[in-house]
């Protein structure tokens, strides 16, 4: 349940289909039709709550962390988390470069790994992926490696991703064990001048198979919208507008989802890169207004140190830098262990936070849900959601809530 905050942050400095056939199914909330062999699923807008079931959460059932927590319960820099088949909770910590295992009641069982570049060591573990029989794959950004841990949390081997990138970007694991990744380089060769307008950066996805140096390219896809400033041949700054499009990817079985935020569509491809399905959420982008821009500015101020806020507030909101023409129709996407697709409402500062729409594996709307305001969804199953929450002191907690359907 990871968005791209680890890949595309607010500011980065980089070195270096035919005529349609007849309708197959109808429902108050969706219709399904075929177009030249591609299934098109048309859903009713999530704003029409009368057409959707609402799931709810209860609890929390489990909470790890807190301001008075002692090691190994104290959390800092949590990057991911999931629940294993036997109920254990696993958390990756970027602050301590380790993987922590907890039992079903939140009691610490073991810590795997430490800071370093040797076997079973990490420098920035950012993603956890389930392997067979409660084994685990751990992707590490700085070492550009994927480690395989056995069900007991012991390091077994490295998953050989080859020399695919200067920065490791992995978005999920297919059912056959291959990985969805982006083998991009530094990116400085993409730009040769300063650009003060919003442009869409490219991103290439590939299917990586362990031990094969040449990954299978799945095709180029539209990347994030950004404002690029080339200062020198080895220094590029990229600023992401508040309402710019930003792609998000997810993997399910032998398919991957591309949420490019182009209109209301989410595209589904197989492991060869072929388009097999189009999911339309029913909610279209809306124009960015001054209230949107004011709210985004206030959010930015709140994220800054207190001593900087007064001065910035006095200068007023920047009206020269473009922040996007339309509010994207949706935000991040993710899949749960049942293969359902979770689609967040776009993080619009003028709307209530925490709202998601859940679609079944075929792309048909199942339900809506509201998660806690500061809850960053990490994992979900048939009866739980697991996520990272921060309290008013910015102290991290990993919490699991019951999911009531």
pLDDT of residue 27: 54
How far out from the chain centre does Cα 355 lie?
Answer: 15
Per-residue pLDDT at 322 exceeds 80: yes
pLDDT of residue 165: 57
Predicted confidence (pLDDT) per residue in 29-48, tens digit:
889 999 999 999 999 888 76
pLDDT class of 50 with cuts at 50, 70, 90: low
Instruction: Supply φ then ψ for residue 397, to 5 degrees.
Output: -135, 135
List the domain boundaries for the chain.
11-16+27-288+323-404
Per-residue pLDDT at 142 exceeds 90: no
What is the pLDDT of the chain when averaged over all its residues? 88
Cα–Cα dist 401/405, whole Å: 13
pLDDT of residue 22: 37
End-to-end CA distance of the chain: 19
Cα–Cα dist 12/323, whole Å: 16
| Average of per-residue pLDDT across 151-175 | 86
pLDDT of residue 75: 95
Nearest to 167 by CA among 115, 123, 228: 123
| Average of per-residue pLDDT across 129-136 | 97
Predicted confidence (pLDDT) per residue in 11-25, tens digit:
333 333 333 333 444
Name, in order, each residue with C-beta under 8 angstroms of 268's C-beta and a sequence gap of 6 or more: 255, 256, 257, 258, 275, 276, 277, 278, 279, 363
- Percent of the chain past pLDDT 70, that is, above it, reads 87
pLDDT of residue 9: 38
Per-residue pLDDT at 168 exceeds 80: no
**What CATH number labels 11-16+27-288+323-404?**
2.120.10.30
pLDDT of residue 18: 33
Q: Which of the two residues, 302 and 74, has the higher pLDDT score? A: 74
pLDDT of residue 88: 98
| Average of per-residue pLDDT across 386-396 | 94
- Identify the burial level of 198 via C-beta atoms within 10 angstroms of its C-beta, where 0-12 means exposed, 13-18 middle and 19 or more buried: buried
pLDDT of residue 8: 39
| Average of per-residue pLDDT across 289-295 | 96
Predicted confidence (pLDDT) per residue in 85-107, tens digit:
999 999 999 999 999 999 999 99
pLDDT class of 303 with cuts at 50, 70, 90: confident
pLDDT of residue 16: 36
pLDDT of residue 236: 79
Structure tokens at 40: 């098109």
């Amino acid at each position: 349940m990871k968005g791209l905050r680890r890949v595309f942050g607010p500011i980065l400095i980089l070195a270096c289909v035919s005529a349609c056939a007849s309708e197959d199914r109808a429902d108050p909330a969706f219709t399904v039709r075929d177009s030249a062999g591609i299934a098109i699923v048309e859903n009713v807008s999530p704003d029409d709550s009368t057409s959707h079931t609402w799931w709810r959460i209860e609890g929390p059932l489990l909470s790890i962390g807190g301001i008075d927590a002692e090691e190994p319960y104290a959390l800092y820099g949590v990057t991911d988390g999931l629940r294993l088949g036997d109920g254990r909770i696993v958390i990756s910590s970027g602050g301590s470069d380790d993987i922590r295992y907890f039992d079903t009641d939140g009691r610490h069982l073991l810590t795997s790994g430490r800071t370093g570049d040797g076997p079973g060591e990490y420098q920035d573990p950012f993603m956890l992926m389930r392997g067979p029989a409660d084994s685990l794959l751990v992707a590490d950004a700085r070492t550009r490696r994927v480690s395989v841990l056995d069900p007991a949390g012991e390091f077994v081997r490295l998953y050989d991703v080859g020399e695919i990138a200067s920065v490791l970007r992995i978005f999920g694991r297919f059912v056959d064990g291959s990985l969805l990744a982006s083998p991009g380089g530094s990116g400085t060769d993409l730009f040769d001048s300063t650009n003060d307008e919003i442009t869409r950066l490219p991103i290439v996805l590939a299917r990586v198979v362990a031990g094969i140096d040449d990954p299978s390219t799945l095709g180029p896809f539209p990347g994030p919208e950004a404002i690029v400033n080339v200062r020198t041949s080895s220094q590029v700054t990229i600023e992401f507008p508040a309402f710019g499009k930003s792609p998000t990817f997810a993997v399910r079985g032998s398919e991957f989802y591309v949420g490019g935020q182009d209109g209301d569509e989410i595209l589904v491809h197989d492991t060869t890169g072929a388009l097999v399905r189009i999911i339309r959420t029913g909610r279209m982008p809306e124009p960015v207004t001054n209230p949107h821009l004011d709210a985004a500015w206030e959010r930015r101020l709140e994220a800054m140190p207190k001593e900087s806020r007064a001065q910035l507030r006095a200068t007023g909101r920047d009206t020269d830098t473009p922040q996007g023409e339309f509010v994207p129709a949706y935000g991040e996407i993710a899949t749960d262990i049942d293969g359902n697709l979770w689609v967040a409402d776009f993080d619009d500062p003028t709307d209530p936070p925490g709202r998601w729409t859940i679609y079944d594996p075929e792309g048909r709307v199942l339900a809506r849900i509201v998660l806690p305001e500061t809850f960053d969804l990490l994992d979900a199953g048939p009866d739980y959601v697991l996520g990272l929450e921060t309290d008013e002191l910015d102290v991290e907690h990993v919490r699991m809530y019951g999911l009531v359907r």
